[in-house]
Amino acid sequence: MTVRVENVSKWALHHCSFELPAGSVTALVGANGAGKTTLLNILAGHLPADFGHVAVAGRVAFVPQDKPMYKGFTPLDVLKFGGHMNKVWDEYRAHSWLHRYRVPLKLRCGDLSGGQRAHVAFALALGSRPDVLLLDEPLAELDPLARRKVVRDLLAEVADTGMTLLYSTHVVAELGGVADRLLLLSDGKLLVDGDTDELLGEHLEIVGPAADEPPVAGEVVLARHQQRQSSFVVRCPESAVVEEPWTARPVTLEELVVAHLEAAA
Amino acid sequence: MVEFRVDRASGLPAYLQLGRQVREAVRLGRLRPGDRLPTVRDVVATSGVNANTVLKAYRELELAGLVEARQGSGTYVKATLGTAAPEVLEELRGKFAKWVIEARAAGLEAEDIDALVRAVLSGGPDGA
């Protein structure tokens, strides 16, 4: 495991525990104020946990959501600064990211667009050759096309270097095939921690006649009742069989996340 | 060559979607025995899918005996799918196409046809 979090508490966070294997890509999802940024700051070593223990193997790079940067620096200055501040520095890797996204190298960062500043921050983080890369809302400033490209390029960086990637996001609809793990936080508590493929296999939406209980054994995540119809989102073994008059269908990641958040609200 | 497309909003895990697309390509003859599947790195860079997802899909296809991994050179299609001869396949397709026209004339949508096909395949109460 490259990242191990044991029973960590801090401000909104309550007793969070999870592990991230090396080379994994994990999406950290949750409502605003759920504690995502606090968690990332603790992992980055910027905040001490009040309780519990965090272990991160190797070099860590963290890109905060607001991408703080000296406004008078040009992207070239930023990379030069990165070269001085990091014992391990990959100038080529940092430069190629800026080149790929056509970031003007000699403008002041204060004059760059939000998206361009984000790329300077990504380049700086990648240049430090991290074993663990932590990104807080990396896709927030990017348009849909740029989001795809950045996700593609980040996944290629993961494939090339074997680094571990943890990023927070609200864009749950775009996680399929991208994140192999999902961490779902609500109100400081970890609601879901698992392999996205397994989670998809385990969750079913079951609809049928009005009933108090679903027709399969498992954890009822969410139940909705109308006069003549009940529907349940259930977490059950993949082999569960649903018989007439009930019908079952797999849920999407977005539905899964929404069901858990709604149930916790 | 196959170009992978992942429907991110689908409830079907991405690795199963990739596996399904390879099977489909083999069935339709777009991939033949001896053809090489794109490298994991290529799929990651072109489709924006996690490397672990691609590896999982290729492993599953290998276990099913459809492809083989050759040390250091890539993953190759090994077998074909479907045992019917092309002319038989063509005839079945023609009959089915006629049936679909009938079904549409009866007011069925693609989704209804899908449900009907699945019901017959699973041998349920509506099945043969």
Residue B57 forms part of a structural domain: yes
- Cβ-defined contact of A177 to B8 (cutoff 8 Å): yes
Contact B11 A250 (CB under 8 A): yes
Predicted pLDDT at A212: 93
Residue B19 lies in a domain: yes
Looking at the domain assignment, is residue B68 inside a domain? yes
Q: Is there a single domain that holds both residue B32 and residue B64? A: yes
pLDDT in tens, B110-122: 888 988 888 888 7
* Closest CA–CA distance from residue A79 to any residue of chain B (Å): 25
Do B44 and B20 belong together in one domain? yes
In chain B, the N- to C-terminal Cα span, in Å, equals 38
The DSSP annotation for B40-60 comes to HHHHHHHH---HHHHHHHHHH
Residues 6+ apart with CB under 8 A from A94: A79, A82, A123, A124, A126, A127
Please tell me whether residues B48 and B18 are part of one structural domain: yes
Query: For residue B46, what are the domain limits?
Result: 14-77
- Which residue, among A128, A30, A47, A53, has the nearest Cα to A84 in the 3D structure? A128
Alpha helices, H only, chain B? 14-27, 40-47, 51-63, 86-105, 110-121
> B72 and B107, same structural domain?
no
Residues 6+ apart with CB under 8 A from A118: A67, A138, A141, A142
Kindly state the average pLDDT of the residues A197-210: 94
Q: Report the pLDDT value the prediction gives residue B127, as an integer from 0 to 100.
A: 42
Q: Is the ipTM of this complex over 0.95?
A: no
Name the residue among A25, A152, A175 with its Cβ closest to that of B45.
A152
Residues of chain B with pLDDT under 50: 126-128
The full set of domains in chain A, from first to last, is 3-196 (3.40.50.300), 202-264 (no CATH)
Question: Residues A172, A198, A208, CA angle at the centre, nearest 5°?
Answer: 80
Q: What is the pLDDT of residue B124?
A: 56
Does B67 share its domain with B95? no
B36 burial level (CB within 10 Å; 0-12, 13-18, 19+): middle
pLDDT at B73: 86
Q: Quote the pLDDT of residue B84.
A: 67
The pLDDT tens digits of the residues spanning A88-106 come to 999 999 999 999 999 999 9
Chain B residues in contact with A160 by the CB 8 A cut-off are 41
| Segment A12-63, tens digit of pLDDT | 899 999 999 999 999 999 988 899 999 999 999 999 999 999 999 999 999 9
pTM: 0.88
Q: Indicate whether B9 belongs to any domain.
A: no
**In a shared domain, residues B32 and B66:** yes
Residues of chain A above pLDDT 90, percent: 86
